[in-house]
Amino acid sequence: MDRTRTQSSFGTEGLVAGNLKDSVRTYERALIIDALKVNGNDKRKVAKLLGISLSSLYRKLRELSIEDLDEGVGQMGEQTAQLNEAMS
């Protein structure tokens, strides 16, 4: 993942207010969400990219209240979107 993109999508607003723990949590959440979007919600790729185990990624997803993303979920997401559009 392009680190510049991640930093620019996060910004610095979260680092100004709050304590270190909150700032780290906010940054970690933004980083994981960005990685999921860039990698089509492929959790194996994201875990490898972040240098953590898949089980650690799933734990972080729970802790940070990150659910599956609607955008960029790859082929299944595109098929679901097409099906929903056809049914409308």
Handedness of CA 74, 25, 48, 62 (dihedral sign): negative
| pLDDT at residue 69, rounded to an integer | 76
The total number of structural domains in the chain stands at: 1
Q: What is the pTM of this model?
A: 0.60
The boundaries of the domain holding residue 49 are 3-87
Give the model's pLDDT for residue 29: 96
Predicted confidence (pLDDT) per residue in 56-77, tens digit: 999 999 999 998 875 444 444 4
Residue 22 CB contacts under 8 Å (≥ 6 apart), including other chains: 14
pLDDT digits over 2-44, tens only?
A: 444 444 455 555 455 678 999 999 999 999 999 999 999 999 9
SS3 letters for 6-61?
HHHHHCCHHHHCCCHHHHHHHHHHHHHHHHHHHCCCCHHHHHHHHCCCHHHHHHHH
CATH of the domain at 29: 1.10.10
The pLDDT-based confidence of 80 (bands split at 50, 70, 90) is very low
